[in-house]
Amino acid sequence: MNGRRALVTGGASGIGAATAALLRGRGAQVVTADLRGGDITVDVRDGHSVSQAVLAAADRLGGPPDVVVTAAGIYRIAPAVAITAAEWDEVHEVNLRGTFLTAREAARAMTAAGTGGAIVTIASTAALEPDAGEPTAHYNASKAGVVALTKQLAVELAPHRIRVNTVCPGVIDTPMLRLMDDPEAGEQFLREDVPLQRLGAPGEVAEAICFLASDAAAYITGVALPVDGGLSL
């Protein structure tokens, strides 16, 4: 990743922080943007805030980012019949609207620079299949939207040499994880539902993200790559 200029939203913790660290370790210049704790403060729900963050990243990096990772997201658990409209909107504003606004501004900057680039979004295995034990209809729908958005962006941006892919993490050991709130039930889930029988680590998802952002994946665009220990099988 030597010479690459990267922007990672949600880069202050979890998968975003692991990705930023790995990109730096592989030679990229990296700016993290987060609501709190990043190099740049950003509210991904707000178009102006996202636009200013991309401009600020370009200023710090000495040019527009050619790698953008949209790791900002939130997770909520509630039965579908109990979800309020406000709760639905909250999840979609961060996870789907935030991904769209970030990818849009990144694409504008990359297109204007004429250098191409790579955008990697973060979906979830929840986009691919339901879970009766941990109901998250608003989260699932938002992440399914991220998958569809990623595929559409990949088609539209390919002529500009901008690749767009998404990763679909499974149960990853981050602050967002709720599976192990009940350790006994969590361990049973890992034994019975995850073929590799363990939690994933943020760094393992970061490896997939960095691969998709790198020239090693130069002929890959529009994919939704599960990083889930076989959970989606």
Known catalytic residues are 139
**59-86 burial by CB neighbour count: b if 16+ within 10 A, else e?**
ebbeebbbbbbbbbbebbebeeeebeee
Q: How far apart are the first and last CA of the chain?
A: 32
Structure tokens at 31: 């700016």
Residue type (1 letter), 205: V
Helix (H, G, I), strand (E, B) or coil at 79: coil
What are φ and ψ of residue 27, in 5° steps? Answer: 100, 0
Cβ within 8 Å of residue 165, ≥6 positions away: 118, 119, 120, 121, 150, 154, 212, 217, 220, 221, 222, 223, 224, 225
Closest CA to 212 of 30, 33, 70, 113: 70
